[in-house]
Amino acid sequence: MQYQSDRFDLPDAELRCLLLFGDERYLTPKGIAQKLNVVKSRVTKIINGLIKKNLIQKIKDPEDSRVTLLSITADGRQKTDDINLFLSGIHYQVLSNIHPENRTDLLRNLEVLKASLESVKELMA
């Protein structure tokens, strides 16, 4: 993650947040908090950073003035495009280093590991 921060002049959390706008037109702090799995007050700070950098903008929901609607700006769109391009490149490279005949096997094994870890996590909750 350090790479991304340095490369794109964005703290890690802001980068992750910005990328959420690829999927949806408008996001609310509450929704972002859920997606990023952090608390709302944290989202406030992240958002402020992105607004200060002119990557997203904020309007009030006309339906319910308690809620804030966040949308990405043109600058922000440019930035996410750059980031996604970079990430795709990495993903492609990682993939190309793994022989095609090993890939399904690898994925299956990762699932096995994941399932095991999650079941232990269950036990501890």
- Binding footprint of DNA on the chain (CB under 7 A): 5, 11-14, 28-30, 36-48, 58, 64-68
- Pick 65 or 96: Cβ nearer its own copies: 96
The DSSP output letter for 80 is H
- Calculate the alpha carbon distances from 121 to 12, 39, 111, 125 in Å: 26, 22, 15, 6
Please, which residue, 12 or 24, has the CB nearer to its own copies? 12
- CB 85 → DNA: shortest distance, Å? 21
Query: Does residue 37 touch its own copies according to CB under 8 A?
Result: no
What is the residue type of 58? K
117 lies in the binding site for its own copies (CB under 8 A): yes
CA–centroid distance for 60 within its chain: 23
Q: Which does 12 bind (CB under 5 to 8 A by kind): DNA, its own copies, none?
A: DNA
Q: What is the dihedral of CA 15, 27, 21, 5, to 10 degrees?
A: 0
